[in-house]
Amino acid sequence: MALSIFALIGHKNGAADDSAFELAAAAKAIDAGASVTAVVCGAGSELDSVCQAVSATYPTVWKVNHAALAYPNAEALRPALAKVLPKGAIVLMAHDTLGMDLGPGLSIKLDAAFVPDVVGIDGLDGNVLKLVRQEFGGQVSTHIQCDIGDGAVINVRSGAFQPTGDAVSGSVVDKSGDVGDIQPKRKYLETVVAEVGDVDITKADVLVSVGRGIEDQENISIAQELADAIGAVVSCSRPIVDAKWLEKSRQVGTSGKTVKPKVYIALGISGSFQHLGGIKGNPFMVAINKNPKAPIFQVADVGVVTNLLEFVPELTERIKEKK
Amino acid sequence: MEILVCVKRVPDTAENEIVVNSSGSDIERGDLVYSVNEWDNYAVEEAIQIRDRVGGSVTVVTVGDEESEEVLRREMAMGADKGILISDPAFEGSDGKGIASILKAEVEKGKYDLILTGAQADDGAAQVGGMLAAMLDLPFASLVNKIEIVNDKTIKVGREVEGGNQEMNEISLPCVLSIQTGINEPRYVGIRGIRKVASVEIPVHKAADLGIDPAKVGKAGAKVKKVDYFIPPAGKGAEILEGSSEEIADKLIELLKAKGGIK
């Protein structure tokens, strides 16, 4: 029997997120014969352009228009989806800040299994869905078996699946009437936009980026001196901002800035997907890290396995000598 | 305000290299240094700061083996008032839903206004807080990086969303929040602090104490099972530069020049 798979579509200002098309590919990887429905929740006329955009990828699109869904508040979306979705549904959504807010609780409300942050799908064996996840910031992977007999909520990592590009001519079905009354106990107030710092790392051609491997606030100067010597700007990964060693405006990653440099030099950065998600444009990447197993070496072009606290000052001196 | 913080003892990734064992059944745990999950530590610090501002108490709870007691003591040395260890062989192999249902039983034994978890732990799942909230029918917010107490019925919370933006929400109490790192600066815990709480009794709650059916938790109740650990086949990977540090530096300089990395 073919499965019923539902993909929750993220969207902003009338445009579907990239993940909307990745989820269609993930659904195919679960069961190529499944009937796959896009679910577009929100309020107002901007839903129509989203529905139209995804109807070129999904054969069926459910439109759920409700005033309480104007802002994607998981506390309103969860009860709405619990009413709209059929029992036993397989629900896919992006493992982004909305998916993390919504998915775990939705699985409880649907009495379904939940698997977060899925990076690979190895297919279906009866009621057992075989998936791949990562642990310890991507240092190791795990095979997961999930019993989907009573349905499942699967959060899929952004960028893990490539859109197939298959075009269909889908139809839009209005499901707004199924939602009924929603009284969320959490109210969206406003979005405070991240501060722009003294340096705009998004405009830099060359970034010297520091991570936890820099070990101490005092050692940030090692990165700064290298950056000064080559005309680069210093950026960083999340732990450096958490430790308050550099401003938030210097942070590269999904919870920081998206950068598009030509050259990216990663000093003591392990390379979590959240960090790599903030690096676009396929720069020439150099990784310097003492842990040869650091995931950053999988994506870098050139690596040096060494103690950066000793090596980088040497490198900086050498660059100055040669100038 | 009565605050419960759910914590977990995990391998400290800053101190360890994580390696898969020969059979792939687990990671090599023999030489691992364990610590409290980093996100949980921020949650405990936040709870202590709220208690110090508005009064009340902070309880830390963990589901784990007897060694997990050490992380409870560590968090009590930070300033948490009470610790509870939930431990039973029946809980082994629980999936996220199993852990959340065990914590639900504990929450229902007390009366808490605010329940905090770390946003995620070693397995990067970020699931227990949201599940616990749904089981308790309480409102939930994830990735919280700001908490402002408005009154005893309402608080304002900031969520860290894409691009480093902060989504501000009003949420009614009681509620469950998952805490993001960077919300505060967790205080340092010295040996002396840990000694001070070394003899404080920490109650151990078993499945029977919490009225939990062993068949619904642990491996038996898990719909999501971890089959094995593995290292994915390496992709292209970086070209690793070898030689003396001088030779490596020279090669690197050459490459950087060619790619426009030296101005």
Angle between helices A308-322 and B245-258 (to 10 degrees): 60
Angle at A97 between CA A95 and CA A103, to 5 degrees: 55
Res A1: pLDDT: 58
Do B38 and B80 lie in one domain? The reply is yes
Residues in B closer than 8 angstroms to A150, CB to CB, are 223
Domain CATH number, residue B90: 3.40.50.620
Average pLDDT value over all residues in chain B: 95
The CATH architecture annotation of domain A201-322 reads 3-Layer(aba) Sandwich (3.40)
Rounded Cα distance, A104 and A98, in Å: 11
Dihedral angle of Cα B18, B21, B27, B29, to the nearest 10 degrees = -90
ipTM: 0.94
**What is the torsional sign of CA A149, A98, A60, A22?**
negative
Residue with tokens 């001519």: A169
Tokens of A92: 């896919």
Give a three-class secondary structure readout of B199-215: CCCCCEECCCCCCCCHH
Residue B173: count other Cβ atoms within 10 Å of its Cβ: 18
Topology classification of domain A4-178: Rossmann fold (3.40.50)
Q: Which of residues 262-321 of A touch B (CB under 8 A)?
A: 262-263, 265, 284-287, 291-293, 296-306, 310-311, 314-315, 318-319
Q: Is the dihedral of CA A226, A228, A234, A239 positive or negative?
A: positive
In chain A, residues with a C-beta closer than 8 Å to the C-beta of B131 are: 104-105, 107-108, 114
Q: Which residues pair with A305 in a beta bridge?
A: A289
Question: In angstroms, rounded to a whole number, what is the distance separating the alpha carbons of residues A143 and A132?
Answer: 5
The residue assigned the tokens 């919870």 is A255
Q: Are residues B16 and B105 in the same domain?
A: yes
> Looking at CA atoms only, how far is residue A171 from chain B in angstroms?
31
The C-alpha atoms of residue A250 and residue A224 are separated, in whole angstroms, by 13
The answer to whether residue B226 sits within a structural domain is no
Are A314 and B129 a contacting pair at CB < 8 A? no
Examine the domain organization and report whether B258 and B157 are in the same domain: no
Contact B18 A293 (CB under 8 A): yes
Residues B83, A166: Cα–Cα separation, whole Å? 55
Please answer yes or no on whether B238 and A287 come within 8 Å at the CB atom.
yes
Mean per-residue pLDDT for B104-118? 98
Contacts of A272 (CB under 8 A, 6+ apart): A137, A138, A237, A253, A295
pLDDT of residue B20: 93
Q: Residues B252, B130: one domain?
A: no
Closest-CA distance, A45 to chain B, in angstroms, reads 23
What digits encode the pLDDT tens for the residues B35-53? 999 999 999 999 999 999 9
A104 has a chain B CB within 8 A of its CB: yes
Helices (H) and strands (E) in chain A, counts: 9, 18
Ranges of each domain in chain A: 4-178, 201-322
pLDDT tens for residues A135-171? 998 889 999 999 999 999 999 999 899 998 889 999 9
B13·A136 Cβ contact <8 A: yes
B263 and B209, same domain (yes or no):
no
Residue A114, number of CB atoms within 10 A of its CB: 27
Rounded CA-CA distance B94/B218 in Å is 4
Cβ–Cβ below 8 Å for B262 and A231:
yes
Closest CB to A192 among B135, B165, B170:
B165
Collect all residues of chain B within an 8 Å Cβ-Cβ radius of residue A303: 238-241
The two structure tokens encoding residue A167: 């075009």
What are the beta bridge partners of residue B63? B86
Name chain A contacts of B253, Cβ cutoff 8 Å. 315, 318-319, 322
Question: Do residue B249 and residue A314 have CB atoms under 8 angstroms apart?
Answer: yes
B171 and A106 in contact by Cβ < 8 A? no
Closest CA to A65 of A79, A54, A52, A80: A80
- B229 located within any domain: no
Cβ separation A293–B169 shorter than 8 A: no
Q: Which of residues 162-181 of A touch B (CB under 8 A)?
A: none
Q: Chain A closest CA to B240's CA: distance in Å?
A: 5
Q: Does the beta-carbon distance from A302 to B97 stay under 8 Å?
A: no
Rounded to a whole number, what is the distance in Å from the CA of B32 to chain A's nearest CA? 13
Contact B221, A284 (CB under 8 A): no
Sheet holding B82-86, edge to edge: A186-192, B166-172, B154-160, B140-149, B175-179, B114-118, B2-6, B57-63, B82-86, B204-205
Q: Smallest Cβ distance to B18: which of A136, A205, A258?
A: A136
Rounded-to-integer distance, Cα A144 and Cα A129, Å: 8
Distance CA B242, CA B179 (A): 42
**Can you give the pLDDT of all 323 residues of chain A as single tens digits?**
578 999 999 999 999 999 999 999 999 999 999 999 999 999 999 999 999 999 999 999 999 999 999 999 999 999 999 999 999 999 999 999 999 999 999 999 999 999 999 999 999 999 999 999 999 988 899 999 999 999 999 999 998 999 988 899 999 999 999 999 999 999 999 999 987 778 899 999 999 999 999 999 999 999 999 999 999 999 999 999 999 999 999 999 988 999 999 999 999 999 998 899 999 999 999 999 999 888 999 999 999 999 999 999 999 999 999 87
Taking one residue from A and the other from B, the number of pairs with CB-CB distance under 8 angstroms is: 265
- Which of A12, A17, A18, A97 is best to mutate for the B interface (most B CBs within 10 A)? A97
**Structural domain count of chain B:** 2
| Chain B closest-CA separation from residue A153 CA (Å) | 11
Asked if A311 lies within 8 A of B140 by C-beta distance, the reply is no
CB contact under 8 A, B13 and A192: no
Query: Is B257 found in the same domain as B127?
Result: no
| Residues B208-248: tens digit of each pLDDT | 999 999 999 999 999 999 999 998 776 678 999 999 999 99
Is A137 in CB contact (< 8 Å) with chain B? yes
Task: Note if the pTM is more than 0.80.
Answer: yes
Q: Do residues B146 and B260 share a domain?
A: no
Q: Which residue among A141, A187, A258 sits closest to B170, beta carbon to beta carbon?
A: A187
Radius of gyration of chain B (CA): 22
Q: Amino acid letter at B167?
A: E
Sort strands B224-230 and B9-11 into parallel, antiparallel or unpaired.
unpaired
Per DSSP, the residues of chain B read -EEEEE--EEE-TTT----B-TTSSSB--TTPPEEE-HHHHHHHHHHHHHHHHH--EEEEEEES-GGGHHHHHHHHHHT-SEEEEE--GGGTT--HHHHHHHHHHHHHHS--SEEEEES--TT----HHHHHHHHHT--EEEEEEEEEE-SSSEEEEEEE-GGG-EEEEEEESSEEEEEPTTSS-PPP--HHHHHHTTTS---EE-TTTTT--GGGSHHHH-SEEEEEEEPPPP-S--EE--S-HHHHHHHHHHHHHHTT---
Give the gap in angstroms from C-alpha B38 to the nearest C-alpha of chain A. Answer: 11
- For residues B240 and B132, state if they share a domain: no
- The answer to whether B154 and B172 are in contact (CB under 8 A) is yes
Q: Which domain holds residue B263?
A: 235-263
Distance separating alpha carbons of residues A255 and A273, to the nearest angstrom: 11
Binary contact (A206, B260; C-beta < 8 A): yes
Contact A293 B127 (CB under 8 A): no
199-218 in A: which are within 8 Å (CB) of B? 205-206, 212
For residue B9, is it within any domain? yes
| CB contact A18 to B (< 8 Å) | no
* Residues B52 and B22 grouped into a single domain: yes
Residues B144 and B254 in one domain: no
Q: Do B173 and B256 belong together in one domain? A: no
The answer to whether residues B207 and B146 belong to one domain is yes
